[in-house]
Structure 1
Amino acid sequence: MNRPEPVTEADLHAWVDGQLSAERAREIDVYLSTRPDEAERLAAYRAQGRELHALFDPVLDEPVPRPVLAAARRPQRAARHAIAAAVVAALLGGAGGWVLRGSLAPAVSPSVASGVAFAQRAAVAHAVYSPDVRRPVEVSAAQEDQLVTWLSRRMGTPMKPPHLQELGYALEGGRLLPGGRGPVAQFMYHDASGARLTLYVSNDVAVAGHAGSATTPAEPAFRFSQESGGVNVFYWVEGRFGYALSASLPRAELARVAAVVYRDWRTGR
């Protein structure tokens, strides 16, 4: 009788993605039936996958935006660059139904594209980590001093998370993520019902095209983005840093939290 093949991490990820043969999938089912911790971890991965599909699958059914079609009719080299920029903006904006409504014109521009990209990254990070049951953060709020020291060192500036108890949100902890051009800090909060809210902080000076200059920092421009999957984002840029709040909250509630975060971050509370 042949012994079953050892179960590898690659096998487990293939099982999550539905990429195994029926026979091998049954073997993994048996393996997981005696390992509840592993089964719970993989269930969390599947939940994250469903969140990502909910966020990005709508892009597949969207029509090609007019800026892309218009640029495609121009054969010059400059037009090819315009096509690339328009496609990037369309893909990034598509999952949010062309976000940044009301505060920006719909024309494709570098600042719009980078703003959409920033909001999308924050929304994806929220969708990936907020459903996680076992490890939603790398360092918990119980080790807040360690969290602040670690993220401050990696981000190159003090990273003291705002405290939002007055709004009913307790700090859960935080983690370090890769951003567009450097590291990103993500802080996670939860309310009494367990609903989660995340603050995404990037030191990418090009975020949303509002970096300003060394002598004249750009004024913060608050923007609201509605993403697929029920994730709403309020984001703004001040100096070298971009900030994004993501949650399944109504716009007015998220704006109220953003105002407190902005106040606390500026005053260093």
Structure 2
Amino acid sequence: MSRPISEDDLHAFVDEALPDSRRMEVEAYLESNPDVAERYARFGAQRDALRAALGPIAAEPVPLNLNLRHLVASRRRSNWTGWRAAAAACLLLVAGGGSGWMLRGIGMDRPAGIDALAQEASYAYAVFSPDGGHPVEIAAADSDALLRWVEKRLAKPISLPDLSGAGYRFMGGRVVATQNGPAGLLMYDDAKGMRIAILMRPMIRRDENAPMAKHREGDVVGYAWADDGMGYSLVGGLAAADFLHPIADEARRQIRARI
């Protein structure tokens, strides 16, 4: 029997530090506990925002006065001021993989409506599109099973747009947790391996119908809209920015025609 899901497991899940077998157990737990999934989705969003903000700093060479060998030598020569070492350690920890624990209790302004959907789509794309091993949970070959899974979790009928006319092959998808409940994430790629994705979920109390609008979060660009209580955002990297609008128009046309 598998051991119960602990808070340590949940924070390791946020930090993408779980082995595959345990990750699948945690995902199953979050699917059946939407309140917990929403809370830990916020931690993940905060982690990604901090990584985006601190990434350029973390990528810089370590200053000489913070080099470990230099610190050891300096400690032998004189007492090292404690707060300076703590500040350096905190910066490296937040920029790296330990942010799940560090971020507990930190509040952030939460966007709402179509703006929240756009942000959620950007974060989901940033997490899953670079994944070489598990970019999707259910592959395109099992699209019927994927469709049933997403519809069950969203309690809404959905459509899987065919974007092959724009040069993008359907890879498959998954259910992801967002700040506003479960969402379906559909992944596509082109002949060069460039990926785009569509995130869809029910809209809650706001923007149940919204015109298509462009959005950008860091290096992720997208177009978000809502029809009859369902929100959608098609997102991709900067390299695809010039091509996303007509693809989003085609995806919206197909969804409207099928639902």
Structures share a fold, TM > 0.5?
yes
The CA deviation string for residues 189-230 of structure 1, in whole angstroms up to 9 with x for no partner, is: 001011110100011333xx322xxxxxx4x411111211x1
* Matched positions, count: 173
Q: Which residue among 206, 215, 226 is the counterpart of 1:225?
A: 215
Specify whether residues 168 and 241 from structure 1 end up closer, same or farther in structure 2 by C-alpha distance, changes over 3 A only.
Answer: same
The correspondence of residues 157-168 of structure 1 with structure 2, limited to 5 A, is 157-168=156-167
- Partner secondary structure for residue 153 of structure 1: helix
User: What is the CA distance between 1:115 and its match in structure 2?
Assistant: 3.1
Which residues of structure 2 form unaligned runs of 5+?
1-7, 22-45, 58-107
- 1:143 deviation in Å? 0.7
What displacement does 1:50 show?
9.9
Counterparts of 1:180 and 1:51, CA distance in 2: 14
Aligned to 1:26: none
- Match in the other structure for 2:150: 151
| 1:137 aligned partner | 136
The correspondence for 1:257, drawn from 237, 247, 253, is 247
The structure with the largest strand share of the pair is 2
> In the alignment, is the contact (CA less than 8 A) between 2:200 and 2:232 conserved in 1?
yes
The alpha-carbon deviation at position 238 of structure 1 amounts to: 1.0
CA contact (8 A) 2:114 2:225 kept: no
Q: 1:50 to 1:134 in 2, by over 3 A?
A: farther
C-alpha distance in 1 between matches for 2:257 and 2:179? 27
Residue pair 2:221, 2:241 contacting (<8 A) in 1 also: yes
For residues 54 and 250 of structure 1, the distance between their equivalents in structure 2, rounded to whole angstroms, comes to 22
Q: Percent identity?
A: 28
* Rounded Cα–Cα distance in structure 1 between residues aligned with 2:134 and 2:143: 16
Distance 2:133 2:241 in 1: 29
Distance 2:145 2:241 in 1: 33
Q: Quote the residue 2:103 is aligned against.
A: none
| Partner in structure 1 of residue 109 of structure 2 | 88
Does residue 240 in structure 1 map to residue 229 in structure 2? Answer: yes
1:54 to partner: Cα distance = 4.8
**Contact 1:123 1:231 (C-alpha < 8 Å) held by counterparts:** yes
The structural deviation recorded for 1:156 is 1.7
* Cα drift, residue 56 of structure 1: 4.3
From 52, 58, 71, give the equivalent of 1:55.
52
Q: Trace 1:16-35 onto structure 2 (pairs within 5 A).
A: none
Map 1:129-208 to 2 at 5 A: 129-206=128-205
Q: In the aligned structure 2, how far is the partner of 1:121 from the partner of 1:241?
A: 14
Moved more, 115-124 or 134-143: 115-124
Q: Could you report, residue by residue, the CA deviation over 1:138-178 in whole angstroms, capped at 9, with x for unpaired residues?
A: 10001111111221222222223101000000011010012
Moved over 4 A (4+): 49-54
Where does structure 1 lack aligned partners over 5 or more consecutive residues? 1-8, 19-36, 39-48, 61-86, 93-112, 212-217
* Contact kept? 1:138, 1:174, Cα under 8 Å: yes
8 Å contact kept, 2:128–2:135 = yes
- Aligned alpha-carbon RMSD (Å): 3.4
